[in-house]
Amino acid sequence: MNKIILILLAVLLALTAAGISSSASKKITAPSASLKAGSDGQPQIVHLNTAARDPKIFYTLDRKDPTTHSRQIIRGIPLHQSTTIRALSSSSSRSIGQVSEFTNTVETRKSIARKFLSFTDHSIPYRLFIPDDYTPEKRYPLVLFLHGRGDRGSDNTRQLLGSDGAAVWASLDVQRKHPCFVLAPQARRSYDGGFSVTRDRHNRLNPSTAFQESKDGRAAYEIVMKTIHSYSIDRTRIYATGLSQGGFGTFTINAEHPELFAAMIPISGGGDPGTAAIIKDKPMWIFHAADDQTIPVSYSRNMVHALKKAGAHPIYTEYPPSMKIGHGAWVPAYKNHEVMEWLFQQRMRK
The pLDDT tens digits of the residues spanning 154-170 come to: 999 999 999 999 999 99
Q: What mean pLDDT is predicted for residues 325-348? A: 97
Band of pLDDT at residue 5, cut at 50, 70 and 90 = very low
Beta strands in 213-272 (DSSP E): 233-243, 263-267
| Rounded average pLDDT over 213-227 | 97
Stronger pLDDT, 76 or 18, i.e. the higher one: 76
State mean pLDDT over 242-261.
97
Contact indicator for 335, 301 with CB cutoff of 8 Å:
no
User: At CB < 8 A and 24+ separation, what contacts does 210-215 make?
Assistant: 210/248, 210/270, 211/248, 211/251, 211/252, 211/270, 211/271, 211/272, 211/274, 211/275, 212/252, 213/252, 213/253, 213/256, 214/187, 214/249, 214/252, 215/123, 215/188
pLDDT of residue 80: 73
- In whole angstroms, give the CA distance from residue 73 to residue 151: 43
* Range 335-345 average pLDDT: 97
**Amino acid identity, residue 289?**
A
pLDDT of residue 203: 80
Contact 32, 49 (CB under 8 A): yes
Q: What is the mean pLDDT of residues 197-219?
A: 87
Does pLDDT of 336 surpass 80? yes
What backbone torsions phi and psi does residue 52 show, to the nearest 5 degrees? Answer: -65, 155
Provide the percentage of residues in the chain whose pLDDT is more than 70: 84
d(CA 88, CA 26): 14
Question: What is the rounded average pLDDT of the residues 192-214?
Answer: 86
User: What's the pTM value of the predicted model, to 2 decimals?
Assistant: 0.77
What are the angstrom distances between the C-alpha of 332 and each of 5, 145, 267, 327? 77, 16, 11, 12
Q: Is the pLDDT of residue 39 over 60?
A: no
How far is Cα 205 from Cα 199, in angstroms, rounded to an integer? 4
Cα 243 from Cα 258, distance rounded (Å): 19
Largest CA distance in the chain: 113
Regarding predicted confidence, which is higher, 318 or 85?
A: 318
pLDDT for position 199: 82
Tell me, what's the pLDDT at 239?
98
- For the purposes of burial, counting CB atoms within 10 Å of the CB of 189, is it exposed (0-12), middle (13-18) or buried (19 or more)? middle
Pairing of strands 44-49, 233-243: unpaired
pLDDT over 60 at 13, yes or no: no
pLDDT greater than 60 at residue 37: no
Mean pLDDT on 72-97 = 77
Segment 286-294 shows an average pLDDT of: 97
Give the mean pLDDT of 277-286. 98
* Range with top average pLDDT, 67-71, 96-100, 274-278: 274-278
Identify the pLDDT of residue 307: 98
Rounded to the nearest 5 degrees, what angle is found at the Cα of 290, between the Cα atoms of 285 and 292?
Answer: 100
For residue 7, the model assigns a pLDDT of 40
Tell me what pLDDT residue 293 has. Answer: 96
